[in-house]
Every structure is written in C-alpha cells, then in structure tokens.
C-alpha cells in the first residue's frame, strides 16, 4: 500500500461527512452487535469508508456526486474490484443514513451476522474436576 494512499485515508478520517460521523458513532467500539469496524481503510488502490474484516464487509456511503451514470459505473467497477478480494460491498446514500439510520444499521447487522465466523470458546472445567490421567 502506498504512503500516499495511507495519507489520503488519514485525511478522509479527519474530514468526515455528517453521514460518516453519524454512522461511525453507531459502528465504533464494537457497538453494532460486537462487530469491529475500521473507517477509511485502504483496500487495493481504493479507500473504503468502513470495513469489518471479520465479516469481510465493506460499507460505502455515497453523496450526491455518486448518482450520475459515469459515477455509478465507476462505483460498480470499484465494488467489483473489492468483491474480487472476497468482501461484500454495501452502498448507502448519505441521505439514507441521515433519514433512516436504524434501517441501515439493521441491514449492516444482518450482513455481519451472515458473514462473520462464530467464535466458540472452550468451556471451563467445573470447579473440583481435575484432569484425569490414565
């Protein structure tokens, strides 16, 4: 990954949009069903808005500039390149985040639940039980 891409990601984190800040408040610190997300993450030559590595899930927020035919084609190519790495890409408009945050969080939670591996922890031995040797 180039240092220029990392620098751009840092700049984007510092200059988040209102929609990004609102969604990040719900995703940070494992707040969405314990799933860990990072924001403005370089993937290939792109910077993804939000990534949950455990679920291989990318969340992209699109402002008004993304709704022209040319921008939609560019976004489709970007999504295809990221999905080729095994990620699932979910796209939401900034207006949707501002007006329907709960619905978007439900969609993200469902995608995480579908894709994230379930961790099973070994059971602790009950007190008083010793490991028996033969």
- Over the stretch 16-36, which tens digit does the pLDDT of each residue have? 899 999 999 999 999 998 999
C-alpha distances out from residue 106 to 16, 21, 111, Å? 22, 18, 9
* Dihedral over Cα of 107, 108, 109, 115: its sign: positive
Which residue has better confidence, 5 or 105? 105
| Domain presence at residue 93 | yes
Cα Rg, the chain, nearest whole Å? 19
What CATH code is carried by the domain that includes residue 37?
3.40.960.10
Whether residue 133 lies inside any domain: the answer is no
pLDDT band of residue 13 (cuts 50, 70, 90) is: confident
Q: Which domain holds residue 95?
A: 3-115
Give a yes or no: residue 130 inside a domain.
no
The answer to whether residue 121 is domain-embedded is no
For position 127, what pLDDT does the model report?
53
In a domain, 127, yes or no: no
In a domain, 128, yes or no: no
Q: What is the mean pLDDT of the chain?
A: 86
Q: Decide if 77 is inside a domain.
A: yes
Residue 120, in any domain of the structure: no
Domains held by the chain: number: 1
pTM: 0.79
């Amino acid at each position: 990954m180039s240092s220029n891409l990392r620098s751009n990601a840092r700049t984007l984190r510092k200059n988040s949009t209102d929609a990004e800040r609102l969604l990040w408040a719900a995703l940070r610190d494992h707040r969405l069903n314990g799933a860990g997300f990072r924001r403005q993450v370089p993937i290939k030559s792109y910077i993804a808005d939000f990534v949950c590595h455990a679920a291989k899930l990318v969340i992209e927020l699109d402002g008004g500039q993304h709704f022209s035919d040319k921008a939609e084609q560019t976004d489709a190519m970007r999504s295809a390149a990221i999905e080729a790495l095994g990620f699932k890409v979910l796209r939401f408009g900034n207006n949707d985040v501002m007006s329907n945050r709960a619905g978007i969080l439900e969609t993200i939670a469902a995608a995480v639940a579908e894709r994230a591996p379930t961790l099973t922890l070994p059971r602790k031995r009950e007190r008083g039980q010793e490991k028996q040797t033969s």
